[in-house]
Amino acid sequence: TKLLLATRNQGKIAELRRILEEAALPIELVGLEAFPEIGDVAETGLTFAENALLKAHTVARQSGLPCIADDSGLCVDALNGMPGIFSARWSGGHGDDKANLDLLLAQINDVPDDRRQAHFACVAALALPSGEERVVEGVMHGHVIRAPRGTMGFGYDPIFVPDGETRTTAEMPPAEKDAISHRGISMRAMVPVLAEVFSV
Ligand code: ITT
């Protein structure tokens, strides 16, 4: 059985693969690089779930394969939950991690240390070419620091410290981030769903 990971974000692909491979399901994971004809899906939804389902269904229809899509982002309390679904394009262009992170830091520059709470959210949607769908979710709470630290991970990892930690998620070895991350939680919730849907 083949399962397509419907994302162009290399950081996400690495995490999705690692977490699903750890579950050792008899499913072959393929990436979007095998389908150069499939273009970007416009993320027109108003929630993580709407966007994850939109991406998963569109790519499942175009590829003829079961697809998992992830819509995720960082929700900052002091910004009323922003950047949220706009995390990948917060500074304008899509996927400029450094510019997005710098803009966010500038926007909360005046927010004191005890009011910098935030959480990462990840909604993962599974869509089958038949139209069948499943949705799972994961959240990781923490706070945003004042200057980036660490080189692992991607996106906003260098400025996010999870609750109970002193390191940013960019300073944590991948397996340690997976154990507590929004994506780790949602993907581990997806494992029994996949086992059921694929009868494996
Ligand atoms: P696809 O739509 O192709 O999957 P994308 O990067 O556009 O890729 P999203 O719209 O879901 O995906 O945006 C997710 C953004 O949220 C991502 O670009 C990061 O800026 C941020 N983000 C999500 N998970 C993160 C994580 O684990 N660590 C750091 N930043 C993360």
Domain count, the chain: 1
Q: What is the pLDDT of residue 93?
A: 83
pLDDT in tens, 124-150: 999 999 999 999 999 999 999 999 999
Q: Are 200 and 26 in contact (CB under 8 A)?
A: yes
Predicted local distance difference test score (pLDDT) of residue 94: 86
Which residue matches tokens 């990948």? 88
In whole angstroms, give the CA distance from residue 82 to residue 8: 22
- What is the end-to-end Cα distance of the chain in Å, rounded? 10
Region 20-49 average pLDDT: 93
pTM (global) more than 0.95 = yes
Given a contact cutoff of 8 angstroms between Cβ atoms, the answer to whether 183 and 171 are in contact is no
Task: Judge whether 1 and 26 are in contact, CB under 8 Å.
Answer: yes
Please tell me whether residue 198 adopts helix, strand or coil conformation: coil
Q: Are the beta carbons of 134 and 197 closer than 8 angstroms?
A: yes
Q: Whose CA is nearest to atom 30 of ligand 1?
A: 155
- Pocket lining: 58 vs ligand 1, CB cutoff 6 Å: no
Let me know if 71 is a catalytic residue. Answer: yes
Q: Which is catalytic among the residues 71, 102, 163, 178?
A: 71
Distance of CA 59 to the CA centre of its chain: 17
- ipTM of the complex as predicted: 0.98
Nearest atom, ligand 1, residue 43 CA: 10
Ligand 1 atom index nearest CA of 15 = 27
DSSP state of 83: B
Bridge partners of residue 39, in order along the sequence: none
User: Which tens digit of pLDDT belongs to each residue from 49-80?
Assistant: 999 999 999 999 999 999 999 999 999 999 99
Segment 165-190 mean pLDDT: 97
- Please report, for residues 51, 94, 98, 146, the alpha-carbon distance to residue 190 in angstroms, rounded to integers and kept in the order given: 17, 27, 30, 34
Residues 6+ apart with CB under 8 A from 96: none
Decide: helix, strand or coil at residue 71: strand
Domain that holds residue 81: 2-197
Query: What is the predicted pLDDT for the residue at 147?
Result: 97
Whether a cis peptide bond, with omega within 30° of 0, leads into 83 is yes
CATH code for the domain in which residue 85 is found: 3.90.950.10
pLDDT at 152 over 90: yes
Q: Residue 40 and residue 113: Cα distance in Å, rounded?
A: 38
DSSP 34-54: G-TT--PPP---SSHHHHHHH
pLDDT tens-place string over residues 92-111: 988 899 999 999 999 999 99
